[in-house]
Amino acid sequence: MRTDLFDFELPADNIALRPASPRDSARMLVVQPGAVPHDNIVSDLPNWLRAGDQLVVNDTKVISAQLAGRRIGREPETRIDATLIKRLDGSRWQALVKPAKRLVPGDTVRFGGEGRVCLLGHLDAQVESKGDAGEVTFAFTFHGPALDQAIAELGAPPLPPYIAARRTPDERDLADYQTMFADKDGAVAAPTAGLHFTPALEANLRERGVGLHRVTLHVGAGTFLPVKVDDTAEHKMHSEWGTISRETADALNAARAKGGRVVAVGTTSLRLLESAATEDNIIHPFADDTAIFITPGYRFRAVDLLMTNFHLPRSTLFMLVSAFSGHDTMTKAYAHAIATGYRFYSYGDASLLFPDKSTS
């Protein structure tokens, strides 16, 4: 499909720079194909669900994946900024680097400096290989838990560029950019639909008879990126690692067999569930990488409703929601959201999307 079909104008004033407080006071646009969008707030979510429905949240935890350092060992020393995007093993990470052109395999980058950090106050990494789009594979001098601790002390949470470009990240972001479900270290971006949840909202959902299940997808930096090619068929997705336990898969399949609906909290949960489902609509245990790219025409197998934030123009995520609820429906819904002041992106408002049954 043509990428420009998923473009739209978004005023800067619609981009959220801080989350709503309390989190479940954010606005929520309910989108049902063929109906007028409903303006709600997130705490209204239980009213749109029924007993037997099953929420699926992503329990990944954002790590301090932004590292600042310098190339050492050859002149001139050059500042290097790196965002870790995927762990390869106990000591190796793939990263997006600026300026990548200043590095060649064999170079050493020293991250950190003075202060309260690992052992000698810095962390060295050797450039093992380079990709075509600024990706670099680093082999760090530390391994396992020691490397994790060093990254946590030296790094900073990687706020999305559309926020970081407009204000300086601060201590508030350390808490604001984690969901209440965050447990498994590994994400470099928050699963942002989960940011809207509070203990009170979870309690109200359970009181209504709605189940809640956790899966893990370690969100990569590719979630920030617009599609730059003219045709979606030419876009290459970054892979991300995820897992669904047998217990969770069995519970979701059993609930659907009884008429319950699977409600994905966020596109990350949806992409993982769809990666684990087969043509017969059965969700299987999963522990692997996924690079699933969902565009209009895709037949959904595992997810019946989707709660998600508002996404970038030309992004894979706007393509995904267009596939789920229909391109025309989502174009009109986003126009309504912009016109009525909904807040977009990671710290923004939410939408609850019902599927386009005409394509199922």
Q: Is residue 164 part of a domain?
A: no
CATH number of the structural domain spanning residue 187: 3.40.1780.10
Q: Is residue 168 part of a domain?
A: no
Statement to judge: residues 139 and 240 lie in one domain: no
Pairing of strands 108-112, 54-58: unpaired
Q: Rounded CA gap, 350 and 348, in Å?
A: 7
Q: Note the pTM of the prediction, 2 decimals.
A: 0.90
Q: Mark which of 125, 154, 183 sits at the end of a domain.
A: 154
What lies within 8 Å, CB to CB, of 45 at 6+ separation is 24, 28, 201, 205, 307, 352
Whether 162 is covered by a domain: the verdict is no
Supply the pLDDT for residue 116: 41
228 and 208 within one domain: yes
Q: Residue 140 maps to which CATH number?
A: 2.40.10.240
List the Cα angle 259/262/264 in 5-degree steps: 165
Decide if 235 is inside a domain: yes
152 Cβ contact partners less than 8 Å away, ≥ 6 residues apart: 63, 64
pLDDT of residue 360: 55
147 falls within a domain: yes
Residue 305 and residue 221 share a domain: yes
17 burial (CB, 10 Å; 0-12 / 13-18 / 19+) is middle
Residues 270 and 178 in one domain: yes
Q: 240-244 and 92-98: which strand pairing?
A: unpaired
Same domain, 133 and 224: no
For residue 189, give the 3-state DSSP assignment. Answer: coil
Complete DSSP assignment for 234-277: G--PPPEEEEE-HHHHHHHHHHHHTT--EEEESHHHHHHHHHHB
Q: Are residues 252 and 187 in the same domain?
A: yes
Last residue of a domain, one of 122, 154, 186: 154
Give residue 223's pLDDT.
Answer: 64
| Number of domain units in the chain | 2
Task: Determine how β-strand 184-187 pairs with β-strand 60-62.
Answer: parallel
Would residue 166 count as lying in a domain? Answer: no
Cβ neighbour number for residue 297 with a 10 Å cutoff:
8
Whether residues 187 and 143 share a domain: the answer is no
**146/163 Cα distance (integer angstroms):** 31
Q: What is the C-alpha separation between 181 and 269, in angstroms, rounded?
A: 13
If asked whether residues 275 and 328 sit together in one domain, one would say: yes
Tell me which of 88, 119, 154 is where a domain ends. 154
Q: What is the pLDDT of residue 113?
A: 64
Query: Quick one: 7 and 126 in the same domain?
Result: no
In angstroms, rounded to a whole number, what is the distance separating the alpha carbons of residues 308 and 333?
13
For residue 315, give the DSSP letter. Answer: B
Q: Are residues 287 and 337 in the same domain?
A: yes
pLDDT confidence of residue 70: 95
Domain assignment present for 19 = yes
Domain residue limits at 229:
3-62+174-359
Q: What is the mean pLDDT, run by run of 10 residues, along the chain of 360 residues? A: 92 95 98 96 98 98 92 91 89 92 94 56 91 88 92 86 83 92 92 98 98 96 73 84 97 98 98 98 97 95 98 94 98 98 96 86
In a domain? residue 160:
no
Q: Indicate if 186 and 148 belong to the same structural domain.
A: no
One domain for residues 102 and 214: no
Torsion of CA 49, 274, 229, 238, to 10 degrees: 110
